[in-house]
Every structure is written in structure tokens, then in C-alpha cells.
Amino acid sequence: MSAHETRMLILGAVALFEPVNGYQIRRELLSWQVDRWANTNPGSIYHGLTALTNLGHLVRHDLVDGGREVAVYELTDTGRAELDRMLVESLETVDVFTRTGFHVAFSMLPLMDRAQVLRSLTKRRVGLEETVKELADHQPGVAPPHATRSMLLWLDIAVAELAWLRETIEEVRSGTLAFEMGEEWGWVPPPDDPGWQMNAEREKYRALLGR
């Protein structure tokens, strides 16, 4: 996965769970199986935290928690602006050959408001409709037969995504798809979900930071 998408994952994870330590971010992202669909490994997560801190997108707090030192991270104003830009760009950019950026951004929908999500998904739908038309208009005979078959596969995948996208836009518009913070999702994490512990530690970090 590109550094662009790794940065988006890390910034988004910090925004969702801040203040949060590096191990928690690593554990959370690996629970999303980003090592499989986004090719993100633990080392790149820790390296990304350092790089984003150096860029001023994150702020690191070195705390003492129960006698042990722990580094926790929060998003800065510039980090939030950069994340917002990346989310919008990744939702709107159509690339039939890779959708990793889109999947990263879609996993961060709780960080976006419904109006912006609708605008971005609608723009993606328009771009995807144009892509489907271009692929469908491909003239047989201009490429070897096996290459033509390959293009038909890309067309089928794009058509399937377009159908999914149209349904998703309607669910976002109607409110059937709940994702914004404060909305009732109708879903509660299981008792053994590590998010419960993360939330408890987040409150502890906030207290240590005087929040």
C-alpha cells in the first residue's frame, strides 16, 4: 500500500480513538485485517506515527501510567485538515485497478458528516458511470483476445461496484446507514472487544492530560 493510504489509516485511527497509544492503534488496525487488504504491517504503523508527529499532524504526549512510561497521540488541527482532505479525495477518486484508498476512507465514515459523504459518494458515482461507459465501449479486436477478456472482468467489477454504490448512497441519504458519532447504530461491540479497554484507557489518558 502507498504511504498516502498508510498515513490516512493512522490519522483516522488516532482521530477515532485519541488520546491513544501506539500499541492500541496497531492492535485496532490489525483487527481490521489491514495487513491483508491494505498490506500494512506493524512496523509501518509505528514508523508512520513518528513521521506524522514530525510533520506536525500528530502531537505526542509522554505520560507515566502506573509507573510505566507510555506515549499517547492526538491529532493536531493541521492533522485533521490533512485527514479531511485525504478522506474526500479517496472517496471521490475512481480507479478500477485498485480500491484500497476508497476502502480506507470508507472505514473512516464516522469522522465525516452525512452531507459531505453524500457529496463525495455522488461524485464517485458520476465518475464510475463514466468509467463503466468507457469500458463498455471498448471495441473488440483492438487488443489480443486474452486482454479483451481481462477488460471484461474490470467492466464486470466496475458494474458491481456501481450497483453497490447507488444502494449505499440511498442508505446514506435516508439515514438507514448510521455512521456519524452520536447516532444510534443498532450495534454494540461484544464483551471481549478490545475497544472497551481502549475506551477505559482513553479516559485515563484524558485525566492524566488534565482534560
- Interval 132-180: pLDDT, tens: 998 888 766 677 888 888 888 999 999 999 999 999 999 999 999 999 8
Domain end call among 64, 85, 110: 110
Write the CB contacts of 205 (distance below 8 Å, at least 6 apart in sequence). 19, 20, 21, 61, 63, 65, 72
- Asked if residue 204 is part of any domain, the answer here is no
Query: Could you tell me if 24 and 92 lie in one domain?
Result: yes
Co-location of 36 and 103 in the same domain: yes
Domain annotation covers residue 10: yes
Mean pLDDT over the full length of the chain? 91
Q: Is the pLDDT of residue 4 over 90?
A: no
Is the pLDDT at 210 greater than 80, yes or no? yes
What pLDDT shows up at residue 139? 65
Last residue of a domain, one of 48, 82, 110: 110
Half-sphere exposure of residue 117, counting CA atoms within 13 Å on the CB side?
A: 23
- 130 and 89 both lie in a single domain: no
pLDDT at 1 over 60: no
Higher pLDDT, 119 or 139: 119
Expressed as residue numbers, the domain containing 156 is 113-187
pLDDT at residue 52 tops 80: yes
Q: In the predicted model, what is the mean pLDDT of residues 110-129?
A: 97
Quickly list DSSP for 94-121: --TT--HHHHHHHHTGGGS-HHHHHHHH
Q: 87 with 118, same domain?
A: no
Given 110, 138, 162, which residue is the final one in a domain?
A: 110
Query: Mean pLDDT over residues 84-111, rounded?
Result: 95
Q: Who wins on pLDDT, 138 or 27?
A: 27
Reported as a single tens digit per residue, the pLDDT across 61-94 is 999 988 889 999 999 999 999 999 999 999 999 9
Percent of the chain at pLDDT above 70? 97
Classify residue 27: in a domain, yes or no.
yes
Distance CA 50, CA 59 (A): 10
Query: What average pLDDT does the segment 88-112 reach?
Result: 94
User: Is there a domain that residue 194 lies in?
Assistant: no
Does one domain contain both 24 and 86?
yes
Whether the per-residue pLDDT at 127 is higher than 90: the answer is yes
| pLDDT exceeds 80 at position 24 | yes
Alpha-carbon distance of 89 to 69, in angstroms, equals: 37
Question: Does residue 129 share a domain with residue 105?
Answer: no
- 2-30 average pLDDT score: 91
Is there a single domain that holds both residue 90 and residue 139? no
Query: Residue 14 sits in a domain of what CATH number?
Result: 1.10.10.10
pLDDT digits (tens, 9 = 90+) for 185-200: 888 889 888 888 889 9
Does residue 145 share a domain with residue 66?
no
What's the number of domains the chain is made of?
2
What whole-number distance in Å separates Cα of residue 194 and Cα of residue 190? 9
Q: Are residues 93 and 136 in the same domain?
A: no
| 9/104 same-domain check | yes
Based on the fold, state whether residues 119 and 80 are members of the same structural domain: no
pLDDT band at 30 (very low <50, low <70, confident <90, very high): confident
